[in-house]
Amino acid sequence: MKNILEAPFMVEMIRTATNMYDHGWDERNGGNISLMLEPEQVTAYLDAEGVLRTIPTGFTAPELDGKYFLVTGTGKYFKNVQYAPDVNLGIVRLRDQGRQADLLWGFADGGQFTSEFPAHMMSHVARLKVDDKNRVVMHCHPANLLAMTYVHDLDEKAFTRTLWQMCTECIVVFPEGVNVLPWMLCGTNEIGEATAEKMLTARLVVWSQHGIYGAGKDLDETFGLIETAEKAAEIYMKIAHLPRVNTITDDQLHQLERRFNIRAREGYLDD
Ligand code: 2HA
Ligand code: ZN
């Protein structure tokens, strides 16, 4: 059996968690990542019958029966993932209508998956309905996006348009815009369901006064989505209190649509 710590998906997960920490997005135990793995990726490195223990999930998601996830642990620090991946990460396979998770590797100190597991799993179900290539759900606390939720209108169209106006490439990276949830109690099935609902129409969902969720086909793409939105929010926070002399106009945003062959979210730009 090959060494799982050398598996490309493991190396990339460790690098991504470290990079997110280095960006200041994941203080203390903030943030969580889940990466859906193909069965053949897992069985090259693990005995699929070797269940270490079973952890109840507290929700039902029949669509995920038999699916494997590499996921960050509850209470664990992204800062530490690179030094002890087998303590801070785990690989689980869901069964029993998604109600049970069989642990196959990791959480070596007796831990378990992130408290945001419901939001992650429900978001995977939602994104897979829209895009069968989706594999990643990522949550973190980038300071400028958070700051923006204190001073900007939380209307999704208004929030999206502001981000698009902050950097030329934003509309190209997330033409569907960002969806926004009001403040809600985290770690619950309710915020999980609300996030998943929002994930049907966008890969980015802002949790007001808390952070952001991103989804994508791989870790790089998902990181890049959040990185781009956070850069836009940073620029907004630098200029929000200053008189706005120039902006990117809707006409220019339409030019970007044509140049990059993308379509802005319906109704978000003036004709
Ligand atoms: O503690 O970010 O939302 C991890 C979190 C909870
Ligand atoms: Zn959080």
Q: Give the pLDDT of residue 121.
A: 98
Q: Is residue 270 part of a domain?
A: no
239 and 125 in a common domain? yes
Distance 207 CA to ligand 1 centre (A): 11
Q: Give the pLDDT of residue 34.
A: 98
Q: Give the pLDDT of residue 169.
A: 98
pLDDT in tens, 46-69: 999 999 999 999 999 999 999 999
Count of domains in the chain? Answer: 2
Does the structure show a pLDDT above 90 at 1? no
Mean pLDDT for all residues in the chain: 98
Q: What's this model's pTM, rounded to 2 decimal places? A: 0.98
64 and 37 in a common domain? yes
How many residues in the chain? 271
Q: Kindly report the protein residue whose alpha carbon is nearest to atom 4 of ligand 1.
A: 30
132 and 98 in a common domain? no
Active site residues: 116
- Distance between CA 18 and CA 82 in Å, rounded? 7
- Distance between CA 187 and CA 235 in Å, rounded? 30
252 and 222 in a common domain? yes
103 and 224 in a common domain? no
User: What residues contact residue 225 under an 8 Å CB cut-off, 6+ apart?
Assistant: 173, 174, 203, 204, 214, 216
206 and 165 in a common domain? yes
3-state secondary structure 168-213: CCHHHHCCCCCEEECCCCCCCHHHHHHHHHHHCCCCEEEECCCEEE
Contacts of 221-225 spanning 24+ positions with Cβ under 8 A: 221/136, 222/136, 222/137, 222/138, 223/16, 223/19, 223/20, 223/138, 224/173, 225/173, 225/174
Which ligand has the minimum distance to the alpha carbon of residue 116?
A: 1
172 and 103 in a common domain? no
Which H or E run includes 229? helix 219-239
Which among 115, 143, 176 is the end of a domain? Answer: 115
Pocket test for ligand 1, best of 141, 186, 190, 213 (most atoms within 8 A of CB): 186
Q: Is residue 271 part of a domain?
A: no
pLDDT in tens, 77-118: 999 999 999 999 999 999 999 999 999 999 999 999 999 999
Q: Is residue 214 part of a domain?
A: yes
Residue 210 CA: nearest ligand 1 atom is 3
- Distance between CA 94 and CA 235 in Å, rounded? 41
Domain range enclosing 178:
116-265
Q: What CATH number does residue 68 fall under?
A: 3.40.225.10
Distance 137 CA to ligand 2 centre (A): 13
